[in-house]
Chain A
Amino acid sequence: MKLRILAALWRLNVAEELQYRANLVASLLGTIFWIGTALLTLAVFFRHTTRLGDWDYWEVVVLLGVFNTLTGVIEAVLRPGIGRLAGEVKSGGLDLVLAKPVDAQGFVSFRRLDVWRLTDVVLGLALAGYALVRLHHVPTVAQLAAFGLALTAAVVVVYALWVALMSLAFWFVSVENLSVLFDAVYEGARYPVSAYPGALRFVFVYLIPIAWTTTIPASALTGRLEPGFALVAAAVAALAFALTRLLWRTALKRYSGASG
């Protein structure tokens, strides 16, 4: 999709959202409450252990920061955009999208920007930074670069998961709450994959690739992984993106419109 169109769409969204400034406060309070809950959850676990999947407390908090950052991207762009796909496939509202002279996948995915939810991105990165201070770990330039690349890859993987799951709407037309599937899957990304039993770990790395969303960027930042590993993350993201693009094309062929 052309960047100019995207910029115009988002400018409109931001202008619209600026009318509802109380939502900024609500969004901030929600995020702070969520982070508090997550930290208390960790505190409960760490009352009874010193390591979780061989990660110590502050390392898991770094991961939590990454999780929150990705949550911000999801809530600001993906859920209000592609998250609405299932309902539109059912009602035939997708007709209006397909009739537009733009790439349908791009438009469906990035048409909305709930700007206030970007506070989650800021607070998530701040949390990760604070945890690094508590770890007494100053990331090297290579580690920061690896983190940047791995985090970008994570955003792409999260996006690919959304597209893959929401594409199911073309086969299961009557299921309007498909986005719940993503929430169920993403729940597993709150903790390092090494904490899970072996079989589940395999699933999270190779089949439903949520290990690449939080565990890998956090590992890159804390130096648990060699910086070069970020290139593998980038390759995984590229593969995931290509596969979902293919899936989207196949799925769209099944769409018969409002009259069908």
Chain B
Amino acid sequence: MTGTVDWLRRYGALLRAAWLQDLQYRASIVLWLLWGVTEPAVALGIWWAIAADGPVQGYARADFARYFFALMLVNQLTIAWDSWYLDSWIRDGELNFRLARPIHPAHEAVAENIAYKARTAGMILVVWLIVAAVWPAVRLPFGADRWALTAAAVLLAAALRFFISFATGLLAFWTTRATAIMELHAGISLFLSGRLAPLALLPPAVARVAGFLWFPYMLAFPVDLLTGTVHGAALVQGFVGQVVWLAVWVGAYRLAWTRGLRKYGAVGG
């Protein structure tokens, strides 16, 4: 039991530090947020124009509006910048003092993620509520059970994206282009994770390939849960996919971490 209390205390301190640090950069955070919502906003604008003459494969204008608003929120809740941090920590040797601490550096990263997401997702929620008050298209059907499931899926997606980002960032132990690899991943995920369009609107072959990879579980699945378009077997399959791919990426992270540290000969070290 004391172990749990210890961990709560540690996380309390880490979260407080992360929150205060973000407070200092709150204007910058608003700009990152703005940047993060432009891509879905532009995509919504284009789909809105395309759906002018009637629904696109069952997606009417209002469905697109709901989809992309949900995407903005879920994306903000699951986004992970950790590969960029790790890349600079490893290259500048800032990892050293973090390794010397009696707590794994990943916990600091997790705390930063929680603080950042609480702040930015809170802002999106407020904007969403205001927009929903005047624009019925983006109102979501209320259902306690569905929202609980969505919360679980968002949490799993956030964990998945965190480990993808963290493990990829660790590649900086071996290469100077770790962030380029992460950008390549972002480029592929534009299509396969549903950022550009609901997966149902992609060519069927592409959607099928996406189903065999982790991308849909990063965004599309929790977004579809939130807008209420996943049911029955697809719902179960979604959660299974999330758990399986999370396990795979945790494994990749552990491998990269142990191997990488062995290789790491920090700046001046």
Find out whether the CB atom of A188 lies under 8 angstroms from the CB atom of B38: yes
One of B28, B180, B201 near A47 (C-beta < 8 A): B201
Task: Please name the residue on chain A nearest to B36 by beta carbon.
Answer: A184
Q: Is the CB of A44 within 8 A of B196?
A: yes
Q: Is the CB of A180 within 8 A of B35?
A: yes
Q: Looking at B38, B177, B180, which has the most chain A CB atoms within 10 Å of its CB?
A: B38
* Chain A contacts for B56, CB-based, 8 A: 48-49
For B202, the closest partner residue in chain A by CB is A44
Q: Is A176 an interface residue (CB 8 A)?
A: yes
0/1 interface trace, chain A 26-39, chain B, CB 8 Å (1 if under): 10001001100100
Give B26-48 as 1s and 0s: 1 = Cβ < 8 Å from A's Cβ atoms. Answer: 01100110110011001001111
* Docked complex: B242-267 residues within 8 A CB-CB of A: none
Q: By the criterion of a CB under 8 Å from any partner CB, how many residues of chain A are at the interface? A: 33
Contact of B197 with A by CB under 8 A: yes
Contact residues of A between 11 and 38, Cβ < 8 Å to B: 26, 30, 33-34, 37
Inter-chain CA distance A236–B38, complex, in Å, is 25
Contact stretch, chosen from B2-10, B158-166, B183-191: B183-191
Q: Which of A45, A177, A188 contacts B31 (CB 8 A)?
A: A177
Q: Does A53 contact B (CB under 8 A)?
A: yes
Does any Cβ of A come within 8 Å of B57's Cβ?
yes
Report yes or no: B42 in contact with A187, Cβ–Cβ below 8 A. yes
Closest CB of chain A to B167's CB: distance in Å? Answer: 21
Q: Does B203 contact A (CB under 8 A)?
A: yes
**Is A184 a contact of B34 with CB atoms below 8 Å?**
yes
Question: With A33-B184, A41-B190 given, is the CB distance from A180 to B31 under 8 Å?
Answer: yes
With A175-B27, A180-B35, A187-B38: A44-B45 Cβ-Cβ less than 8 Å:
no
Determine how close the nearest CB of chain B comes to the CB of A229; give it in whole angstroms.
23
Give chain A nearest CB distance to B110 CB in angstroms.
Answer: 23
Interface residue A91 (Cβ < 8 Å from any Cβ of B)? no
Cα A116 to Cα B196 in complex, Å, equals 29
A26 and B180: CB pair below 8 A? Answer: yes
What 0/1 pattern do residues 173 to 195 of A give for CB contact below 8 A with B?
Answer: 01111101101110110110001
Within 8 A of B (CB), among A167-214: 172, 174-178, 180-181, 183-185, 187-188, 190-191, 195-197, 200
Centre residue among B28, B38, B46, B197 by max chain A CB count within 10 A: B46
How close is B264's CB to chain A, nearest CB, in angstroms? 24
Q: Are B35 and A52 in contact (CB under 8 A)?
A: no
Minimum CB distance partner of A196 in chain B: B45
Q: B34, A200: Cβ atoms under 8 Å?
A: no
With both beta carbons as reference points, the residue of chain A lying nearest to B27 in the complex is identified as A175
Q: Are A180 and B32 in contact (CB under 8 A)?
A: yes
Q: Which residues of the partner chain A approach B38 to less than 8 Å between Cβ atoms?
A: 183-185, 187-188
B193 to chain A, nearest CB (A): 13
* Interchain CB contact under 8 A, B57 and A37: no
State whether B49 touches A184 (Cβ < 8 A).
Answer: no
B237 smallest CB distance to A (angstroms): 24
Q: Determine the distance from Cα of A176 to Cα of B28 in the docked complex, in whole angstroms.
A: 7
Q: B196 to chain A: which residues have CB within 8 Å?
A: 41, 44
In chain A, positions 122-162 with a C-beta closer than 8 Å to chain B are: none
* Residues of A208-228 whose CB lies within 8 A of B: none
Task: Kindly list chain A residues whose C-beta atoms are within 8 Å of the C-beta of B191.
Answer: 40-41, 44
Is the C-beta of B50 less than 8 angstroms from some C-beta in chain A? yes
Q: Which of B28, B42, B49, B190 contacts A53 (CB 8 A)?
A: B49
Q: Which residues of chain B have C-beta atoms less than 8 A from A187's C-beta?
A: 38-39, 42
From B25, B50, B201, give the contact of A52 (CB < 8 A). B50
Chain A residues within CB distance 8 Å of chain B: 26, 30, 33-34, 37, 40-41, 44-45, 47-49, 52-53, 172, 174-178, 180-181, 183-185, 187-188, 190-191, 195-197, 200
* Chain B interface residues (CB < 8 Å from chain A): 24-25, 27-28, 31-32, 34-35, 38-39, 42, 45-50, 56-57, 177, 180, 184, 187, 190-191, 196-197, 201-203
Apart from A33-B187, A44-B196, list 6 A-B contacts with CB within 8 A. Answer: A44-B191, A44-B197, A44-B201, A47-B203, A181-B34, A195-B49
